Amino acid sequence: MGRKKLPPEEEAVVLANVAERAERYEDMVDYMKERVKAGKALAREEREMFAAAYKGLMASRRFAVRVAKSVQEQEADAEKEKNAALAAGYLSKVRLELQGICIQVLEILEGILLPKAETGEPKVFYLKLQADYYRYLAEFLEGEGQREALASAAESYVTATGEAEEHLMVTHPVRLGVALNHAVFKHTVMKDPAAAAQIVKESLELAARSLEGMPEEAVRDAQPLVAIMQDNLRMWLDEASS
């Protein structure tokens, strides 16, 4: 008697797990898209896998953009115009790839996941992801496209923050993640370390008051993000005062 076959959506998640371990993020994205198209709401682990798949796909390309831009500038400074032009062409190619990935994520979020998201953690998670991908677009687009991405990222972070404040505890990792990424947006993209520091400071103060006496599991879940926020706060306060 043969083994009972898994439902297609469960099979897709198993294969996405395998692809992640193999660091084949293109495959992981394809499997998670299959899971999304199955229609059933994503469980927490599946939401995290969806985000991880696209994060893995983005990572090498974001690095490539930074390298290509640096090479272009170095060659231009050395007055090697042909080399600089080649680097600029490669930079454009990778930027287009990044733009395509961001648009794909945003279409899935805005067309499928957000409209059906349950209030609370699922909705906040997707709003944060939406804001993050508009932030990524704003990092490498120029002109009107960048202005639109900036406005959309700012709006999405504000919406995610409001949803988190209404429905999630101040120590919830997703709420802390919204505050951290909103602050990173203010610092890295908007070049406003004072605003970034203020967002993190307020979030940390609320969390510190609530973490006292909380179950060990809640403290353990919050601690990694709290540590990152504390490190960033020290750095950004130094920048704001210099």
CATH of residue 224: 1.20.190.20
Would you say residue 28 lies in a domain? no
Would you say residue 59 lies in a domain? no
Would you say residue 140 lies in a domain? yes
Predicted confidence (pLDDT) per residue in 204-218, tens digit? 999 888 877 667 777
Would you say residue 197 lies in a domain? yes
Residue 1 neighbours by CB distance under 10 Å? 3
Would you say residue 16 lies in a domain? no
Predicted confidence (pLDDT) per residue in 159-198, tens digit? 999 999 999 998 899 999 999 999 999 999 999 989 999 9
**Which of 12-26, 126-140, 215-229 is predicted with the least confidence, judged by mean pLDDT?**
215-229
Number of domains in the chain: 1
Percent of the chain with pLDDT over 90: 77
Would you say residue 211 lies in a domain? yes
DSSP letters of the chain? Answer: -PPPPPPHHHHHHHHHHHHHHTT-HHHHHHHHHHHHHT-SPPPHHHHHHHHHHHHHHHHHHHHHHHHHHHHHHHHHHTT-HHHHHHHHHHHHHHHHHHHHHHHHHHHHIIIIIHHHPPTTHHHHHHHHHHHHHHHHHHHH--HHHHHHHHHHHHHHHHHHHHHHHHHS-TT-HHHHHHHHHHHHIIIIIS--HHHHHHHHHHHHHHHHHHHTT--HHHHHHHHHHHHHHHHHHHHHHHHHH-
pLDDT at 1 over 60: no
- Tell me, yes or no, if the pTM score tops 0.85: yes
Would you say residue 151 lies in a domain? yes
